Structure 1
């Protein structure tokens, strides 16, 4: 993982010193890439790169150039770079970087040849065109500001704001969407003038004509004929291959082990593929208000004799770390799992530079309970998406328009998908990238740590998503095939036991100093722009509303008011 920035200037007179602005953007992303910096210019095209060295630590400096002078910058990893290099005609390679064969593959076949997680940009010298692209799942983030004078892009919004391409003004509607949904779907951000590149988006800019074209290389959700006669054995082969390529690294790697089915499955396969003990990391809580996953994780760690590390997220961590976590999230999700993930990343960074994680298993193999509910007959509540929203108990100063409703209605009318697949697609296209993957990216990048998600692999997805429903849901349990596989290879995981669910005890923590939180939040400028004092107090009585109210208030102090995130939560709100 790294940080990338770029600038394409259509009207040269519009910017006094474009290269200095690109350097400013790169400097603001130093936490993403502390190992090396590269800046490139050709005409009115500028690339910047802050590198976290993972593959070819010494020789993988970016931008990387082809023998014809084409250039590439990338954030992420192209896992099939070995296979790409073998399949391509001979080229004079100057490094062992994964992005060098990726560049040649792109010039011949486009981004569809890549297998990995990435946000990248390519400048083709002969045609003077620039391609900016994001992986099909949206594992790696990318943002842009577009005007008639220029297009600027960066791995995080803060870079665009720092360089002055964005004014950093908030969109009230987008803030309310984020607070109501716990995340902001699709291409909008909290800021009026900053957009996200969508998963699978491919943008081409022609400098000669100053034209911009959009295309995509999205995931295929259309029905496919299932022809695997032995699905368990086929999954084993595909999953092994995914773990194998996700372990390609020239630096130490480990695993976030929650004790759940997904991360334990990854551990099971890693143990098969590695001779040395796997480094595993688990976080629990000092509260009996929620299920603590450490026991299940420890059982799997003992079974495979891992080098296991545990930490606890306490109320004191909540008070001291929340402002620092908010600094990491210039694009915001209210997923409470940001708390333990941030502390896990800090612990893992002491030993490794790469961690594998289980995000995507539930979406690809249908693990969520809401999928089973969605598949019920309509008379029993099936076939409906939830319309519960976090701020439904609070009267807002501005009417809010739910961005999910029209998208969900369109999805319900889709005749090419099964009922279960509609529920899966809703999460994969609307929720996965702006919530779970944003959480993983920001929490890890704050500590210069790379996260990899083996379930979000094209091969695993093509197999898992198109599995017949009987292999996904059975006996009122999801991820049935994965449970069967895990029962065979790691019985200590007890994959058919009732899932206890993952939650963070934020409600219990808020109760500890509730009167103080109410007093402080009722004075918060960010919240008062959205609702009056009485509604803030009312919202804090609602468990669903209290968490986003607090998080947004702290986020506002850090990113809009410019407060020092090293302060504790009470000081920063005071």
Structure 2
């Protein structure tokens, strides 16, 4: 795992400022403490920080051809590099290293922009081609590795692995993107392809971009891969479902190649436990496993992790942290560079910190919920959709809009309808309803939160447009597959993978994600929805086929999640900090919020009148971002 950075002048042969590029690269030292180097040519400069994983001494970056005609910087791992190496050698290419980076170098020479179709792995890549004076950028299919870019005044293009890299450039424009603020207070993160800054972007998962001489504006990134939106009935058969274990074990196995200590996170949930089970069957030595526990049973899953550790005799480590482990709060804004509101970033940081003491590479179970429909909200969404299908939209609006206003005096209603959010969602179409149900602050709450001046700047924009953009690709999908697709495009990338990348790289730890192997997803996402969600049980196919490999209590217990007790913190030890942040002069005078609503949210929560903890945490993290600007 590494960090990359670069500067490119498409309209001149100007030499990039070496000190600026070094400052950009130094800001990501944590991503690659083992080595760092640079490549300069007329019009371009590339930088790299290396965390050595494979071919520890033989694959320095930036890596170039002997004649300097092609140079690559690369963050990630190419798991099929040995097969590609053999294929490229047969075509006459000579290799001087044993790692995966040189495979990318020659793949570009052979296939150009289509080299990405031959790469199986997680990656963010920058390639300079001197013959065409072009710069090529690409990001892996699911977005495991990040890529940021911006076109600066003077037609100077910059890119890097983290936002902090770009922010080191003296010309970087810090003008905020108003629509990104609306998105943040909906999702808790800024979805791709945007960032919190108006003129800075994220290269989306499964996209590539070619910058060529003479360009004076950003080119449109090109999508080279997408999640399958059609499936074969062959995948509904019992034989095909049984194939799941074989395919998943293969996805795990190719991620176990490393020249450094390797292990796995073991939370005690289905996904991480499945990864550990497969790893244990693929190696003779005990697997190194790590788990974080809490000193409050409500949040503690360590007993279930221990069941799996005992079954497979893993080299298991557990660290129990206090439920009041909130000392990381002030560090989070600088870790994520833009507003980011997933409070589980704190225990994630701790488990990465712990794992790095034992290993340099860790496998995780991230992605299992999105691929196999594991989130409880999916079951709720399908219940709502059944009602939607019974009544036309106009009639639902007439019935459920006033019912939402009557909440909570509706004890007679079915359990799944006893929530204001649900009543609001029932008056919407399926995608809008899902958007409403996952929003941290719903549309009516954001309407109260934002100042009149800021709402005018939004000019009618609503974060629902993020989902609408992807909805057009889901026409062949059923309601469950549709929301899974939306989550894979938004929540997985913007929240889960962002959380893990920054938390792990802060400790120079590489995290690999077998569930997000693109070949595995191309097969697994074709399983019919009934195979994954049966009788309210999510991930049914995965759980059923893991029964021979994992304890029943691990597979079928209630999903717990990786959460922290925000509501209690804000009424107790963090009450003063909450007020200092949310009601700071920065927040009250920035022009984005209605000060009276900020005060109301704080007062109602502290008094116990309402649980506004999610909204208040989102505001606190935004204040942390403003504090660093």
Q: Please give the TM-score of this superposition, normalised by the length of structure 1.
A: 0.91
Distance 1:554 1:332, change over 3 A: closer
Aligned with 1:135 (options 137, 140, 151) = 140
- Deviation of residue 532 (structure 1)? 4.6
Corresponding position of 1:49? 48
Q: Is the 8 A contact 1:411 1:422 kept in 2?
A: no
Distance 2:574 2:29 in 1: 37
Distance 2:379 2:110 in 1: 43
Tell me the CA shift for residue 100 of structure 1: 0.9
Matches within 5 A, 1:359-508: 359-376=366-383, 377-379=385-387, 381=426, 383=430, 384-388=433-437, 389-392=439-442, 393=445, 394-397=448-451, 398-399=454-455, 403-409=462-468, 414-508=474-568
User: CA 1:524–1:465 in structure 2 vs 1: closer, same or farther (change >3 Å)?
Assistant: farther
Residue number in structure 1 paired with 2:397: none
Mean CA deviation greater in 408-417 or 135-144 = 408-417
Aligned to 1:59: 58
Residue in 1 aligned with 2:102?
100
Give the 3-state SS of the residue equivalent to 1:385 in structure 2.
helix
Shift of 1:533: 4.2
Residue 503 of structure 1 and its aligned partner are, at CA, apart by 2.5
1:144 equivalent in structure 2: 149
Map of 2:7 onto structure 1: 7
Residue of structure 1 in register with 2:230 after alignment: 223
Structure 2, gaps ≥5 residues long:
389-425, 606-611
Distance verdict in 2 for CA 1:457–1:41, change over 3 Å? same
Q: CA deviation at 1:210?
A: 6.4
The question of whether the paired residues in 1 share the 8 Å contact of 2:31 and 2:49 is answered with yes
Q: Which moved more, 1:163-172 or 1:209-218?
A: 209-218
Q: Please, which moves more after superposition, 111-120 or 229-238?
A: 229-238
2:285 to 272, 276, 279: 276
Deviations 1:329-380 (A, max 9, x none): 1133211110100011111111111111111111111111222233344425
Select the structure that is richer in helix: 2
In structure 1, runs of 5+ residues without a counterpart are 561-574
The equivalent of 2:626 in structure 1 is 556
Structure-2 separation of matches of 1:494 and 1:445: 29
Tell me, in whole angstroms, the C-alpha distance in 2 between the residues paired with 1:526 and 1:173: 18
CA–CA distance in 1 between the matches of 2:233 and 2:257? 30
- In the other structure, the counterpart of 1:566 is none
8 Å Cα contact 1:325-1:443 kept in structure 2: no
Q: Partner residue of 2:271?
A: 262
How many pairs align?
556
Relative to 1, partners in 2 of residues 1:297 and 1:166: Cα closer, same or farther, differing over 3 Å? same
Residue 10 of structure 1: SS of its match in structure 2? coil
Aligned partner of 1:539 in structure 2 is: 601
Q: Quick one: structure 1 residues 485 and 276, their matched pair in 2 at CA, closer, same or farther if it must change by over 3 Å?
A: same
- Alignment match, 1:351: 358
Aligned-pair CA distance for 1:7: 1.2
**C-alpha contact 2:347 2:562 (8 A) present in aligned 1:** no
The whole-number CA distance in structure 2 between the counterparts of 1:412 and 1:62 is: 40
Residue deviations 1:397-416, cap 9 Å, x none?
12256654234346556422
C-alpha displacement of 1:128: 2.5
TM-aligned CA deviation for residue 391 of structure 1:
3.8
1:125 aligns with 2:174: no
- Aligned CA-pair RMSD: 2.3
Q: Does the aligned pair in 2 maintain the 1:353–1:448 contact within 8 Å?
A: yes
Verify: 1:40 aligned to 2:48, yes or no.
no
Give the TM-score normalised by the residue count of structure 2.
0.83
Alignment check: 8 A CA contact 1:137 1:433 kept: yes
Q: Deviations over 1:510-558 (max 9, x none)?
A: 221354135412224145423254322322322231111222223332x
CA contact (8 A) 2:16 2:44 kept: no
Q: Which of 287, 295, 309 in structure 1 is aligned with 2:296?
A: 287
Instruction: Work out the CA distance in 2 between the residues paired with 1:510 and 1:527.
Output: 19
Tell me the CA shift for residue 239 of structure 1: 0.8
Q: CA 1:332–1:449 in structure 2 vs 1: closer, same or farther (change >3 Å)?
A: farther
User: Displacement, 1:249?
Assistant: 0.9
Q: How far is the alpha carbon of 1:11 from its aligned partner?
A: 4.2
